[in-house]
Structure 1
Amino acid sequence: MKKIFRYIIASIGLTGTLGLNSCSDFLEETNKNTVTSDQFYKTAEGMEGLVNSCYAPTRIWYGKVIGHLLTEAGTDEMLPGGFTGYTYFHDYSSTLQATETGFLFVWKSFYRGINACNTALEYLPTSPLSASQKAVREGEIRFLRAFYYYHLTETFGDIPLRTKSTTAPETTALRNSKDDIYKLIFSDLETALTQLKGVVTPQGGRITEPAVAALLARLYLTRDKNTEALTMADRVINNYSYKLMSDYKALWNISNSDGSKNSEVVWFVNYSENNNLNDYGRYDDLGYYWLWEGGNHAHVLYLPYFGGDKGWTYDVETGRPLVQYMPSKYLLNIFDETKDARWAGSFRMVWYANDPTSLASGMKLGDTSVVISKTPVSAEYRKSKPYVIYDVNDIYQADGLPTIPRWHFPALIKFADPTRSARDVINSKRDAFVFRLSEMYLIAAEASMKLGDNAKAASYVNVVRSRAALPGQAAAMQVKASDMTLDFILDERAREFVGEQLRWFDLKRTGKLIERATKYNPFAAPNIKAYHTLRPIPRVEIDVLQNKNEFLQNPGYN
């Protein structure tokens, strides 16, 4: 099912930003129906629509441009591609400031989600839903409120805490501590775990009991509650029916992109082939800017461009190349492609002739056209081949900076969607996988290591690496207790989750963002500072307040 977002209720109690914005188009909408929102939410249809609307903001982050910018840019694994207009997210230059509209869009969207959740919690007790339905819907609502607060507090730090619906703009606000935010998060998730007990079958992206446990595992690890993180990760691993797919590349095949049918996807943000069921057009001007054509956009963000090379043009199969991100030299070097299937399962290195109008002499359609090499290639070898070769020294300078124009690099293909109707179609039906079973193993490994049990940590890692092993390489892929370090865990997470919108949070959580961005990201190294572990509060949110002296900007930002 791909229909949980079909109801977006336009009312001040649902879509108004939570208290820090001046009036917006959303606050000015008129109810053209004779039924008021108060009456509608007291019906079963109205309550279900209200709960469904709580899910909507998940789609502004997962599979979207701003979500990838705030999780992949400026880390150790991704550098800016040649066509990106957002280099300040990558290099932490002085242009990265509170006036950047992406921060405002995230802030507004997630606070709207929180307000929708607060509204739903207020109407739920008096709704005509059965007691069992109310319990399930409460679990979903509380999960989503916790989910949005997690993203907001990890991104912006201390933020306003709202547990009641906001129905009019507010001109004063205070920032609650991150500790207070997490108290609510964990309280909500513990309630959700109880209310969703026994709800384990995914239905179009709805929250389930194991999804709550997975989020708890991630957040307990984030807060250094390692015993609890291990317990929750083990719960997801052992108590439900999830299984690692035997083939890492098949995990990402478009035929397995429906999260409800993929054996190792614990929770996902769903998208539809029918763009009317996606998010396009459901937001204000900022939404149109950041969401554009709807659907999942990840498939276009990590692709190179070989314009001008004989015999090749981009097509539906190779994907529309927006050239936004390219892998860092560090990322390429942590894969051993002779043993680890995740390299070929994640990256494309060869392109074939598909353009009859530009074939080189002697080249036929289907012949090799372009090859990327992780290692240096001699001039003699190049001359012996009819195709174009870009080797590591063509792609990177000695210091790891990409060569201009930053178009030629391995393509991250795990988000590919060759079922799109035409080569320039942006919207993809691919679901965005938020929690996978392999993350639970690596959470359990990290928690075990921090608890002093490196042997147990290695045993969890080896489950993931056994699945990743090429045929005949399972033994060579195994690691020992002595291999367990935080840097090894981060390397392993990069191999497993590259591009999956986890990296910035992983580096921040482990206290490694500054160190590893400085070491492995030559764009970030000159500028990144300790204060960059937080993003700036959107300037407009502070400007409208009467108590600006109490509500201060994060250090380092204007």
Structure 2
Amino acid sequence: MKIFNKSSFMIAAAAVLSLTTGCKKLLEENPRAALYPDYFSTAAGVQAAVVGIYNDLRGSFSGEGLVFYYDGTDENIPGGSAGTVAPLFNSFRGITSSNGPDITGLYVDINTLNGVFKFASAITDPTARTQYVAQAKFLRGFLYFYLVQTYGGLTATQKSGIPLHTTFLTTAITSDAPAPLTDIYNLIIQDFTDAAANLPNTITNTNPFSAGGVGKSATAATAKAYLAKAYLTRAYTEAKQSTDFQQAADITASLIASKGTYGLDLWQDYWDEHKPANDYGKENMFAIDYGGISDPNYTGYTLQGSGGYGLNQLYVLARQNYVGPGVDNVTGIDAVPQVYSTAKPGMLRDVYNGRPYVRLAPNKPYTMDVAFADQIHDTRYDATFQTFWICNKTTAAGTQSNGALKGALIPTSNVSLSSFNVPVDGDTAILMPSTDVTMARRDAFKGLIITPRQFNALNFPTVKKFDDPLRTGTGDFSSRPIIMMRFSEVYLMNAEANYMLGNVSNAVTSLNVLRQRAAYRTTTDAALTAKNQFYVTSATMADANATNAAAMLLTPTQVALLSIPNNTTDKNTRCGMDLILEEYSRELYGDPRRWYDLVRTQQLVRRNQMYNPNGGANVQAYHARWPIPQGLINNVLSGPAYPQNNGYN
């Protein structure tokens, strides 16, 4: 999905709403651009409005604020450089209306879209009018779906939630109130339904919201996938309707059966899904674009430092600081937590290994010990995590545990501080094997070994699937898109919906498609897999893939688990939802989503109690909604005060 520069397309007549960030003075500001309501009556005006909204999505999914998707879940813990706010989410202590996520600024975009609906009937070209309004429908549904999942809506038991605005405002409002959850979901479902009926099946080179046919603006399949997800999500709430799970199952089944119509499919090799060359390929259905493709209309991106608008920081968040550890085997090298020297580091920061923010780390007791426990038959661990670092600087020989010298590390010959060079040679400076090792193994190894029992907030396998080879500086962020909907999620949603309906065989079929795909390995993948882990050669590839594919089929015990209904309270008894959520982890680990998955399936409390020692004792049901932001509350200046969500001050 390619998007125009942010500064070009702020709609002047879209009033600065009372619930946007900023407080009272915003109500007195002058219009910030030269686009007025009558511009919505032209195709160019509607196009400007729609691409402006796509552009704004950059800001909502950029920066370190993304950590609220991950902390307070079973998958992640705050990294060693997480700061002070992320641990609050992980521990479920100290979360307030002032430090929670604030995405209510999206109501300015919603108002712009409401302007499209009000004036677009004046567009004389019926084809343009239909396509542009369909994009606007999808975007409004997407924004409200995002907002309602984060903050909720008014119900019999919930006293607050988000407001619902469906008319175009040209003057600022000073009063507001939460809308019924039922009304919010009805609008979301209707918007996605309307969008699915009128969006194109595929993106072509004539698409006005794409750069030469490349990008991931919404298609009919995108709208249908989100429609299925909206039904699936509503089905667990107080606004549920009896047909919701069936609707989700039917829509996802139809998408799978008609995948050719929409240009969708799974890659044979799971690794291929995350290769930059395939960012706009058949498995990625919807993306927030950051200007990776050079086009003067759609970029506004500066790589170095903190320049540019809406930089993609996803690749840096879960990246350990590989520069610090030295290679000496000091006293405590085998302890937990590990003690190591910083005197002889084998690494310097280069472009290939990237910028370590250390804001997130895998929650080892769940992520490594449960979700990715099988690293032989299932290739998704090796495809997701970087587990070795090739020496890239001259380093003095390290010492063994008895004080004798190890062999000196040989650095790679193609290290670069200005381009993304995959190491072609050199010794391994840091290795994270899948099992514990003996001291003899440590002494024989030139670099540093960090074993699974030593993984913590500082030392951990790095998420590598978001790495950006277009970076040219050691401080760069990423220009790759953030993928919001993958075709693999359609299979997962189908399995989840069928599980909740009691259709075990259908759930098994969808899960087995993904599990068997995950067994496939190639020799190209092996070049990026640590040699102590499972990998294939040209001689072993065919037999290994056949053996692993058979092993990845759900066992009778696992199938039986899918017959056990969703257990949302007892942390000591497993159910089929555990199996499904573990598959979500393996397939989509690192994507900005896990808190939402746990909230949707009513597993936030239970699975934090199962796997989060810092938050399990504190998490409560009300944490399934983040607090209404203080800015929204403060900006309601007339009428009843805006209420806070249950449980928060």
Same fold (TM over 0.5): yes
3-state SS, counterpart of residue 103 of structure 1 = coil
* Higher alpha-carbon deviation: 358-367 or 383-392: 358-367
- Report the counterpart of residue 398 of structure 1 in structure 2: none
Q: What is the aligned length? A: 531
Please show how residues 313-392 of structure 1 align to structure 2 within 5 Å: 313-329=348-364, 330-333=366-369, 334-335=371-372, 336-356=374-394, 360=398, 362-365=408-411, 366-392=426-452
Matches within 5 A, 1:482-493: 482-484=560-562, 485-493=576-584
C-alpha RMSD over aligned residues? 2.6
Distance 1:437 1:93, change over 3 A: closer
Letter of the 1:408 partner, please give it. Answer: N
Select between 198-207 and 325-334 the one with higher mean Cα deviation: 198-207
Task: Give the TM-score normalised by the residue count of structure 2.
Answer: 0.77
Specify which structure has the bigger relative contact order, considering alpha-carbon pairs within 8 angstroms and separated by 6 or more residues: 1
CA shift at 1:421, angstroms? Answer: 1.2
> Residue 121 and residue 195 in structure 1: after superposition, are their counterparts in 2 closer, same or farther (change >3 A)?
same
Structure 1: distance between partners of 2:475 and 2:395: 19
Give the equivalent residue in structure 2 for 1:285. none
Aligned counterparts of 2:19 and 2:173: Cα–Cα separation in 1? 5
Contact 1:351–1:369 under 8 Å retained in 2: yes
Matching residue's letter, 1:2: K
Contact 1:18 1:111 in 2 (8 A): no
Larger Cα-atom Rg: 2
What residue ranges of structure 1 are gaps of 5+ in the alignment? 282-288, 396-401
1:69 aligns with 2:67: yes
Provide the rounded CA distance (Å) in 2 between the counterparts of 1:456 and 1:77. Answer: 27
- 145 and 32 in structure 1: CA distance in 2 versus 1, 3 angstrom threshold: closer
1:117 to 103, 109, 113: 113
1:228 alignment partner, one of 247, 254, 258: 247
1:14 aligns with 14
Q: 1-side partners of 2:492 and 2:596: how far apart?
A: 15
CA contact (8 A) 2:19 2:635 kept: no
Equivalent residue, structure 2, for 1:408? 459
1:499 CA displacement: 1.2
Aligned-residue offset at 1:456: 1.6
1:2–1:246 distance in 2 versus 1, CA, 3 Å:
same
Determine if contact 1:71/1:502 at 8 Å carries over to the other structure.
yes
Residue in 2 that maps onto 1:439: 489
1:296 aligned residue: 312
One-letter amino acid of the structure 1 residue matched with residue 618 of structure 2: N
Deviations 1:393-438 (A, max 9, x none): 322xxxxxx3xxx321011111111320111112x22111111111
Could you say which residue in structure 2 is the equivalent of 1:107?
A: 104
User: Residue 208 of structure 1 aligns with which residue?
Assistant: 219
Q: Give, in whole Å, the separation in 2 of the partners of 1:155 and 1:149.
A: 10
Q: 5+ residue gaps in structure 2?
A: 154-161, 236-243, 327-344, 399-406, 412-425, 521-544, 563-575
**Between 265-274 and 533-542, the greater mean CA deviation after superposition:** 265-274
Matched residue, 1:28:
29
Q: What is the rounded CA distance, in whole Å, between the counterparts of 1:294 and 1:444 in structure 2?
A: 33
Measure how far apart 1:270 and its partner are.
Answer: 1.5
- Please tell me whether the aligned partners of residues 266 and 435 of structure 1 are also in contact (alpha carbons under 8 angstroms): yes
1:183 aligns with 2:186: yes
**Once the 2 structures are TM-superposed, how far is the Cα of residue 547 of structure 1 from its aligned partner?**
5.1
Counterparts of 1:425 and 1:20 in 2: how far apart (Å)?
30
CA deviation profile, 1:166-208 (whole Å, cap 9, x unmatched): 2333221111111110011111111112222545558332211
Percent identical pairs in the alignment equals 29
Q: 1:509 to 1:10 in 2, by over 3 A?
A: closer
Does the 8 Å contact 1:65/1:291 carry over to 2? no
**How many angstroms apart in 2 are the aligned matches of 1:31 and 1:495?**
45
**What CA deviation, in whole Å up to 9, does each residue of 1:145-183 have, x standing for no partner?**
111111111111121110012233322111111111001
TM-score, normalization by structure 1:
0.89
Secondary structure of the residue that 1:434 maps to in structure 2?
strand
Q: In the aligned structure 1, how far is the partner of 2:629 from the partner of 2:375?
A: 43
Q: How big is the shift at 1:227? A: 1.0
The 1:2–1:147 alpha-carbon spacing in structure 2 relative to 1, beyond 3 Å, is closer
Distance 1:94 1:166, change over 3 A: farther
Q: How far apart, CA to CA, are the structure 2 residues paired with 1:417 and 1:229?
A: 34
The residue aligned with 2:90 is 91
The alpha carbon displacement at 1:474 in A equals: 0.2
Match of 1:248 in 2: 270
Letter in 2 for 1:132: T
Deviates more, 1:523-532 or 1:482-491: 523-532
Residues 1:298 and 1:275: Cα distance change in structure 2 (over 3 Å): farther
Query: Aligned-pair distance for 1:58?
Result: 2.0
